[in-house]
Amino acid sequence: MAKDKTLFVCSECGGTSPKWLGKCPSCGAWNTLVEQVAGAGAGGAANNRFGTQFASLAGASELSTLSEIEATDVARTPTGLDELDRVLGGGIVSGGVTLIGGDPGIGKSTLLLQAVDALQRAGQNALYVTGEESGSQVALRSKRLGLDHSQVQVLAEIQLEKIIATLDATRPAIAVIDSIQTVYSDQLTSAPGSVAQVRECAAHLTRFAKTSGTAVVLVGHVTKEGALAGPRVLEHMVDTVLYFEGDTHSSFRLVRAIKNRFGAVNEIGVFAMTERGLKGVTNPSAIFLSQHAEPVPGSVVLVTLEGTRPMLVEIQALVDNGGPSPRRLSVGLDRDRLAMLLAVLHRHAGVACMDQDVFVNAVGGVRISEPAADLAVMLAITSSLRGKPLPKGFIAFGEVGLAGEVRPAPRGQERLREAAKLGFSVAVVPKANAPRKGAKEIEGLTIHAVDRIEEAMDVVRRLD
């Protein structure tokens, strides 16, 4: 129906065209035309001359001051999976929309099936819309997960209008759409999974969530680069964005909140993939350490803070003779930052890697975004270059600036206590993070406080 209403709108200038063109007829920009249903959504053609067009609507909507609006706290329903509730900020929120992304096979469908089943058993109506798999494949998974006699309703459907109609008729407390890329609306001519389709379908489902109070969870695919395929726009539309991280080869999975209107961001939940689905790991601080019988060159344990929990992650570096254009490669760490740290190492600590290949890796597929990893990365690089391991039980953290200064990391004391608890004995940390003179020491941990990267290098050399 209504195919004639289809319109292509330029994302640059808002110009329109009745058919898709490579070049915008209004502003001449290339590849900016995106299909849209006429009159629907923001940014549509109808908004172009909104000054005059909508003047008659002034006063049609009610205005109120902030103090007149009743501020109600959001009602959350715990899913019963503690680690998932932790990232969600306590549970699912009625009318909230959550986008969950991750590599294929990482466990999105598994986690959500477990969550909706737990909710259903707690008396919340749950609907699982499957577009990727058939109903019997979902049933097979639920059997594998040991979810006997599950009352979760399953709908194998990919047409948006039919999905919304079913949702409207059943009004579940939670609905999972697995995945948003398979859903299409017959109002658009574009193929399912295209930016226009994904955006339009997500907008409709979001509107449904807000008006009905159903909590909607959208499963999204990620591209090779790690972003949600095509529709980064989705991230702005939804309330919560969760990403699965971790190496599909290891059994651990991390779910991180990238955005959360109802909770803290960067909070993570840690799971282990078992024969019977995902199980929460309540004490994850030591899972990202590889076990070396004896210390090896190029390995440093970093104490990082993921959300509210300190975690220990092994940082590995390999520095090796490079060709005419040496490579810099990082896994789990920012590559631009690596280039910067190499420059700081050279300039302020006299460690030159110009003609060397440099590889760094955060063990276990975890992604580390905080600059507090700097010191550990630099010590790992130096250790590999010199071929000298750091002493047994060594940890480090701290940000390093362009001037070679070592800056404090947030909540240093907590990090140090966690390291001591796990039996680490030597730490190189920023001065401001070390316990003050006269303050209680951290038992079992010898702390070397440093102000500059040169000092850190000196300390390490003395430890050899």
The Cα–Cα gap between 74 and 257 comes to 18
Instruction: State in angstroms the smallest separation of the CB of 369 from ligand TYD.
Output: 22
* Residues in 135-164 that interact with ligand TYD by CB under 6 A: 141, 144-145
Residues 110-129 binding ligand TYD (CB under 6 A) are 110
Whether residue 79 contacts residue 152, with contact meaning beta carbons closer than 8 Å, is answered with no
Select from 76, 86, 108, 253 the one that contacts ligand TYD (CB under 6 A).
108
What Å distances lie between residue 108 and 39, 78, 161, 183, 366, CA to CA?
34, 18, 24, 17, 17
Q: 47: burial class by Cβ within 10 Å (0-12, 13-18, 19+)?
A: middle
Nearer to Mg ion, 109 or 384 (CB): 109
User: Using the rule CB under 6 A, which residue among 18, 28, 43, 105 binds ligand TYD?
Assistant: 105
Show contacts with ligand TYD in window 172-191 (CB under 6 A).
none
- Identify what 131 binds: Mg ion, ligand TYD, none; CB under 5 to 8 Å per kind: none
Question: Smallest gap, in angstroms, from Cβ of residue 176 to ligand TYD?
Answer: 11
Within 13 Å of residue 271, how many CA atoms lie on the same side as its CB? 32
Measured from the CB of residue 245, what is the shortest distance to ligand TYD in angstroms?
Answer: 12
User: Rounded to whole angstroms, how far apart are CA atoms 464 and 461?
Assistant: 5
171 binds, among ligand TYD, Mg ion, none (CB under 5 to 8 A by kind): none
* Least distance between ligand TYD and beta carbon 249 (Å): 11
Report the 10 Å Cβ neighbour count for 309.
16
Please say which residue, 49 or 144, places its beta carbon nearer to ligand TYD: 144
Of 104-112, 361-369, 377-385, 437-445, the window that binds ligand TYD (rule: CB under 6 A) is: 104-112
Smallest separation, CB 133 to ligand TYD (Å): 8
Q: Is 32 in the site for ligand TYD (CB under 6 A)?
A: no
What single letter denotes the amino acid at residue 73?
D
What minimum distance in Å lies between the beta carbon of 99 and Mg ion?
A: 14
x/- track of binding to ligand TYD for residues 50-89 (CB under 6 A): ----------------------------------------
Work out how close the CB of 178 gets to ligand TYD at its nearest, in angstroms, rounded to a whole number.
7
Please list every residue from 61 through 120 that binds Mg ion, using CB under 5 A: 109
- Residue closer to ligand TYD by CB (options 25, 105) is 105
Which residue is listed with tokens 């003047």? Answer: 55
CB contact at 8 A, 205 and 217: no
Of ligand TYD, Mg ion, none, which one sits near residue 364, judging by CB under 5 to 8 A according to partner kind?
none
Single residue of 5, 19, 276, 461 touching ligand TYD by CB under 6 A? 276
* Strand 426-430, strand 394-396: pairing: parallel
CB of 126 vs ligand TYD, minimal distance in Å: 17
Stretch of 55-63, 86-94, 275-283, 356-364 lying at the interface with ligand TYD (CB under 6 A)? 275-283
| Count of Cβ atoms closer than 10 Å to residue 391 Cβ | 12
As to burial, measured by CB atoms within 10 angstroms (0-12 exposed, 13-18 middle, 19+ buried), residue 364 is buried
Peptide bond into 194 cis (omega under 30): no
Q: Please, which residue, 6 or 98, has the CB nearer to ligand TYD? A: 98
Nearest CA among 344, 331, 318 for reference residue 456: 344
CA dist 162 and 378 (Å) reads: 55
- Which part of the chain contacts ligand TYD (CB under 6 A), choosing from 100-108, 312-320, 345-353, 363-371? 100-108
Residue 392 vs residues 52, 283, 311, 444, 450: alpha-carbon distances, Å: 73, 23, 18, 13, 20
Q: What Rg, from alpha-carbon coordinates, does the chain have?
A: 26
Q: Are 277 and 270 in contact (CB under 8 A)?
A: no
CA distance 124 to 270: 25
- Least spacing, CB of residue 219 vs ligand TYD, in Å: 7
Nearest Cα neighbor of 157 from 133, 125, 193 is 133
Q: Which residue is nearest to Mg ion (CB)?
A: 109
Minimal distance, residue 31 CB to ligand TYD, in Å: 30
Is-contact 155 128, C-beta < 8 A?
A: yes
Indicate which single residue of 109, 182, 214, 356 sits in contact with ligand TYD (rule: CB under 6 A): 109
Name the minimum Å distance from CB 117 to Mg ion. Answer: 15
Binding site for Mg ion (CB under 5 A): 109
Binding site for ligand TYD (CB under 6 A): 102, 104-110, 141, 144-145, 273, 275-277
